[in-house]
Amino acid sequence: MSDVVDLDKALLRQLYCRMRLIRRFEETAEELYKRGTVVGLLHLYIGEEAVATGVCLALNEDDYITSTHRGHGHLIAKGGDVKRLLAELCGRVTGYCRGKGGSMHAADLRLGILGANGIVGGGFGIATGAALSAKKRNSGQVTVCFFGDGAANQGIFMEVMNMAALWQLPVVYVCENNHFGEYTRFDEATVASQPIGARAAAFGLPTVQVDGNDVIAVYKAAKEAVDRARAGGGPGFIEARTYRLRGHHMGDVGFGRRYRTKEELADRWRQEPVARFRAWLLENQVFSESELAEIEATVEAEMQEAVDYANGSPVPDLTELTEHVYA
Ligand SMILES: Cc1ncc(C[n+]2csc(CCOP(=O)(O)OP(=O)(O)O)c2C)c(N)n1
């Protein structure tokens, strides 16, 4: 990480706070899943917190994001409500989708969060359409499209980059390269001799590859791309190189011991983004140990409030079984 502190202290505090909240949310969801309180599929974002956080804090409140099946971090980083998200995971009526959508369908339109998505690559069209709408309305809003390295191999990725480049849309495509697509390693599914950004560069998009476990590097790369898009400079592409520290989902027992070694996982834990940023904040004397402890206590209190809220909320009444659902 950079040894220069050139960001505002309030922003650095917010970056740490959001990353820590995402980590604690995911750990809590994992725990509640094991107890049977969280229902449905659960894809954890542990290890990737710096990407959502760095990118979303470079956005305005009315900017848009599209998310993925691994989407809790995106929603929380954009300012979404952890109480309603946890309640949704627990199938409670106070959740984002009245407890009927689960982990992969939360959206918060007031905050420009256009929704998680169980369809890999499902955000590409939505994000590009939102950017087209913003451009037509001259609203000054920028859209960020989060997607995985696996999703980069979906054909629609090429279609939207062509459109975005042709119409100079205010959209930033953020590829979260966490090195796996389900149980397959990145280089077994994707030509790894070329950066994924080479595909975007072929359409003329400015591209950048960034250490996705370095929240400051992510923030700066995102800020540059977002500012350029907002100023009329067209779409951008960021590949954030990170690592998925948990299994593909909760059913992937042993955190992927069939497709990676214990040593690889241990080595990646040593580079994990939350502890790394914490150490950086201390080393650079941005915050003292007691100031960090105070931030962490605030996060714990917010998580506890979310757990109480979810536990204290009822499941939807049987009479609304067929309401608010499309199929
Ligand atoms: C269109 C489609 N194809 C396949 C799947 C099954 N599937 C779910 S997650 C996943 C892997 C996605 O990998 P990546 O985009 O890298 O995201 P990550 O899980 O690593 O965050 C696949 C193939 C799906 N949900 N949708």
- What are the tens digits of pLDDT across the range 105-150? 999 999 999 999 999 999 999 999 999 999 999 999 999 999 999 9
Is residue 254 a contact partner of residue 244, using CB atoms and an 8 Å limit? no
Tell me, what's the pLDDT at 3?
Answer: 80
Q: Give the tens place of pLDDT for each residue, 69-85.
A: 999 999 999 999 999 99
* Beta strands across the sheet bearing 171-177: 64-66, 143-148, 171-177, 236-241, 207-211
**Cα–Cα distance for residue pair 14/122, rounded to 1 Å:** 29
DSSP 146-171: EEETTGGGSTHHHHHHHHHHHTT-SE
Average pLDDT over residues 267-292: 98
Average pLDDT over residues 207-219: 98
Tell me, what's the pLDDT at 308?
Answer: 98
Going by alpha carbons, the residue nearest to atom 4 of ligand 1 is 120
Q: Give the tens place of pLDDT for each residue, 40-73.
A: 999 999 999 999 999 999 999 999 999 999 999 9
DSSP 61-82: TT-EEE--SS-HHHHHHTT--H
> Counting every residue, how long is the chain?
327
Chain centroid offset of residue 170 CA: 19
Pocket of ligand 1 (CB under 6 A): 68-70, 118-120, 148-151, 178, 180-182, 244, 248
**Statement: residue 162 has pLDDT above 90:** yes
Average pLDDT over residues 12-24: 98
Atom of ligand 1 nearest to the CA of 147: 15
Tell me, what's the pLDDT at 4?
Answer: 86
First-residue to last-residue Cα distance in the chain: 48
Backbone angle region of 209, left / alpha / beta, with phi > 0 → left and psi within -120 to 50 → alpha = beta
Going by alpha carbons, the residue nearest to atom 7 of ligand 1 is 120
Tell me, what's the pLDDT at 2?
Answer: 82
**Statement: residue 255 has pLDDT above 80:** no
Tell me, what's the pLDDT at 42?
Answer: 97
Main-chain phi, psi angles of 283, to 5 degrees? -55, -40
Helix (H, G, I), strand (E, B) or coil at 272: coil
Average pLDDT over residues 86-97: 98
Going by alpha carbons, the residue nearest to atom 13 of ligand 1 is 181
**Statement: residue 9 has pLDDT above 90:** yes
**Cα–Cα distance for residue pair 286/281, rounded to 1 Å:** 5
Tell me, what's the pLDDT at 59?
Answer: 98
Instruction: List, in order, residues 6 or more apart from 222 with CB less than 8 Å away.
Output: 54, 55, 58, 59, 144, 172, 174, 238
**Statement: residue 1 has pLDDT above 90:** no
**Statement: residue 254 has pLDDT above 80:** no
- Rounded to the nearest angstrom, the distance between the alpha carbon of 254 and the centre of ligand 1 is 19
Dihedral (CA of 250, 272, 296, 82) sign: negative
For residue 209, what is the enclosing H or E element? Answer: strand 207-211
Kindly report the pTM of this predicted structure: 0.98
Residue from 167, 133, 173 nearest 151 by CA: 173
Mean pLDDT of the chain: 96
- Rounded to the nearest angstrom, the distance between the alpha carbon of 180 and the centre of ligand 1 is 9
Residue from 115, 144, 118 nearest 57 by CA: 144
- Rounded to the nearest angstrom, the distance between the alpha carbon of 207 and the centre of ligand 1 is 23
The pLDDT confidence band at residue 258, using thresholds 50, 70 and 90, is: confident
Runs of H (alpha helix) within the chain: 9-34, 49-56, 72-77, 82-89, 123-137, 156-166, 186-189, 197-201, 215-230, 262-269, 273-283, 289-311
Tell me, what's the pLDDT at 5?
Answer: 87
- Rounded to the nearest angstrom, the distance between the alpha carbon of 154 and the centre of ligand 1 is 10
Specify the CATH number of the domain 9-314: 3.40.50.970
Is residue 42 a contact partner of residue 70, using CB atoms and an 8 Å limit? no
Residue from 216, 46, 10 nearest 224 by CA: 216
Residue from 219, 223, 212 nearest 276 by CA: 212
Listed by start position, the domains of the chain span: 9-314
